[in-house]
Amino acid sequence: MPKSRRAALAAPLLAWYDRHHRSLPWRSPPGAPLMEPYRVWLSEIMLQQTTVPAVIPYFGKFLARWPSVHDLAAAPVEDVMEAWAGLGYYARARNLHKCAKAVSERLDGAFPDSVEGLLELPGIGAYTAAAIAAIAFDKPAAVLDGNIERVLARVFAVETPLPQAKPELRQLAAAVTPQERAGDFAQGMMDLGATICTPKNPDCLLCPLQKLCTAHKRGIAAALPRRAARAARPVRHTIAFLLQRADGAVLLRRRPPKGLLGGMLEVPSTPWRDTPWRTSEALGHAPLALDWQPAEGEAEHVFTHFALKIAALHGRINARAAAKIDGQWQQPRAAALPTVMKKMLGLLPGGSEGGAIRSTRNPRRGRARP
């Protein structure tokens, strides 16, 4: 590819960004002073594999509660996990807190301004390091995320499937990134990918790069980037134990710090396994022996690499007995929980009322049984 053509990409892209950039809470408009690195970092961590609309309320909540990196570093990690509940990928919250402590205590509150320095911090990988360096410090770092991969794969008609194409795309990103305004360039490429150069039905007629785009010229833009086929998603099963105190509070426990939903609160349940549970079997995993009653309906939750089908048993307990059980008691409506746990609580008797998440039910199957 000729060097002139690579260099020709930045100018039209930046001109488009100046006119059509999205206005976002963590972004300063082109030409304005740079956004505070703390905010850029916070937004970038939240935006990892997460959509803009999902992030906006969390970003506001975090910033209001912890206005500086020192405030965040001083918070108990449990508070951070709780504030993160519902956003997913909970290792991010743990690393967020670890990173805040490192910056606050070791670096006196100043984020590194280089890619190498940023890469040392927990939760910051190649993408995030480049994004922070470019956006918060105006360094000429080559940013590569899913959006930019797609735009580059199309403009340069990269037919190698992802993730094999990654090294090739990294080279292209480095080649097209300008020395000036690298942050605006990265954000412009991401905006373009989010609004015009979308995964399906790209709106090539409105694209500022249309004349440069080889995939468009060949009529294969929508087919790129190619991607290796995904593995099928297995189904697992569990029975949740909805143990309710006389005042309505339910029993919750803290999950181990690593792995799935690490460090978050959970509703006690049987192990999650490939085959459905019989009630008689499940009772062996109950927090205590009592008169468990089957809850009506069932719920399903889809994780990245498996789906979970959830049935539930409901039990009642008085305050005296409740005090002897390990865990904590919270009102189901008020608890800050991962979505899958909220779905379990949605199986409580009367759980469909008052805006609780309703269990999924299959009417046909539910009535087939005599």
Binding residues for DNA, rule: CB under 7 A, are 22, 24, 26-27, 43-44, 47-54, 86-91, 95, 122-129, 131, 145-147, 149-150, 163-164, 187, 190-191, 193-194, 199-201, 227, 230-231, 233, 259-262, 301-305, 338-340
CB of 14 to DNA, least distance (A): 16
Could you confirm whether 149 is annotated as catalytic?
A: no
The β-bridge partners of 307 are 235, 302
Nearer to DNA, 151 or 322 (CB): 151
Q: What angle do CA 303, 352, 291 make, to 5 degrees?
A: 85
Nearer to DNA, 58 or 292 (CB): 58
Question: Cα(103)–Cα(111) distance, rounded to whole angstroms?
Answer: 6
Shortest reach from residue 74's CB to DNA, in Å? 22
Cα–Cα–Cα angle for 83, 86, 91, rounded to 5 degrees: 75
Q: Which of 36, 44, 78, 159 is catalytic?
A: 44
Amino acid letter, residue 266: E
CB of 350 to DNA, least distance (A): 21
Cα radius of gyration (the chain): 25
C-beta of 8 vs 126, nearer to DNA = 126
187 close to 135: Cβ distance less than 8 angstroms: yes
Distance in Å, CB of 320 to DNA, minimum: 33
Q: Which alpha helices (DSSP H) does the chain contain, by range? A: 3-7, 10-20, 37-47, 52-65, 69-74, 77-84, 91-101, 115-119, 126-137, 146-155, 166-176, 182-195, 214-218, 279-282, 319-322, 339-345, 363-368
Q: Which is nearer to DNA, 164 or 171 (CB)?
A: 164
Which residues participate in catalysis according to the annotation?
Answer: 44
